[in-house]
Amino acid sequence: MTNATEYVQRIQNNIHQKDTGQVEFLQAIDEFMPSATQFLEKHPEYIKRNILGLLSEPERIIQFRVPWQDGEGNWQVNRGYRIQYNSAIGPYKGGLRFHPSVNLSILKFLAFEQIFKNSLTGLPIGGGKGGSDFDPKGKSDDEIMRFCQSFMMELSKHIGPSIDVPAGDIGVGAREIGYLFGEYKRLKQYDAGVLTGKPLDFWGSKIRTEATGYGLVYYVKHLLQAEKDSFEGKTVMVSGSGNVAIYAIEKVQELGGKVITCSDSSGFIYDPEGIDLALLKEVKEEKRERLTAYAEKRDSAVYHAGQSVWTLKETADIALPCATQNEIDETLANNLVECGVKIIAEGANMPCTLEAVNVFEKANVWYCPGKAANAGGVAVSALEMSQNAQRLSWESEQVDRQLDEIMKNIYQTCRQTAAAYGNEKNLLLGANVAGFEKVAKVMYAQGLV
Catalytic residue among 93, 108, 117, 129: 129
Q: Are the C-beta atoms of 47 and 130 separated by less than 8 Å?
A: no
CA atoms of 427 and 411, how far apart (whole Å): 8
CA distance readout (Å), 446 to 54, 439, 443? 12, 11, 5
Q: Closest by alpha carbon to 129, among 350, 434, 400?
A: 350
- What residues pair up with 165 in beta bridges, in sequence order? 93
Q: Are the C-beta atoms of 249 and 255 separated by less than 8 Å?
A: no
Radius of gyration of the CA atoms of the chain, in A: 21
> How big is the CA angle at 92 (ends 88 and 93), to the nearest 5 degrees?
125
Q: Are the C-beta atoms of 288 and 256 separated by less than 8 Å?
A: no
Q: Which amino acid is located at 59 in the chain?
A: E
The 8-class DSSP code of residue 204 comes to P
The 8-class DSSP code of residue 80 comes to E
> How big is the CA angle at 125 (ends 390 and 160), to the nearest 5 degrees?
65
CA atoms of 129 and 110, how far apart (whole Å): 6
- 129 part of the active site: yes
Residue 72, Cβ density class (10 Å: 0-12 exposed, 13-18 middle, ≥19 buried): exposed
Q: Which helix (H) or strand (E) holds 444?
A: helix 427-446
Q: Are the C-beta atoms of 265 and 240 separated by less than 8 Å?
A: no
Q: Would you name the residues annotated as active-site residues?
A: 129
